Amino acid sequence: MANQGAKKRKEENIRHMAKLRHLIIACNVIYVLVRMLIFHSTFTWKHWMGLVFTSIAYFIPYQQLAAMAKPSYGDDGELLDGGFDMSTGGICGYLHDVIYITSFVQLTSIISEKFWYTYLVVRSHLLTFLLKLHLDVKDCTCTIL
């Protein structure tokens, strides 16, 4: 009974990772069906590159989240830790944001290719975040506008 919290977190992480996996698969299937089969006459090499790019943008954060959610076991096979709590912020939240923004960009790029510019907004936000983090680490009182 001492490991009830770890068992509960392990089950929550399994369900959460399954939901993310289903989201990724659903977005890819919708993109392939609609963009490649219905709008096949306008499908170019740029769309192939977009599919590869979004697949990589899904794969890397998903693998990092899967590694964070992985439970740890003792030498005797007993569950020691149920994995990282996926509902917390920080890097876990940013990895989720990458997956959700990628799904948005992938699905809306079916309608218009201009939705790819959303990634530029995200990159500028990421650059600002990293710069603020760097300035905070150096204990600087500078502010970023």
Q: What is the mean pLDDT of residues 95-110?
A: 91
DSSP H stretches of helix in the chain:
4-31, 45-69, 91-108, 118-137
Segments forming the whole domain that contains residue 33? 3-144
Q: What percent of the chain has pLDDT over 70?
A: 88
**Alpha carbon distance 6, 75 (integer Å):** 16
**pLDDT (tens digit, 9 = 90+) per residue, 33-92?**
998 888 888 888 888 898 898 999 899 999 999 999 898 888 887 888 888 888 887 788
Instruction: Please report which confidence band the pLDDT of residue 100 belongs to, taking 50, 70 and 90 as the band edges.
Output: very high
For residue 138, the model assigns a pLDDT of: 53
Which letter does DSSP use for residue 75 in this model?
Answer: T
Please state the domain count of the chain.
1
Joined tokens for residue 139:
């204990």
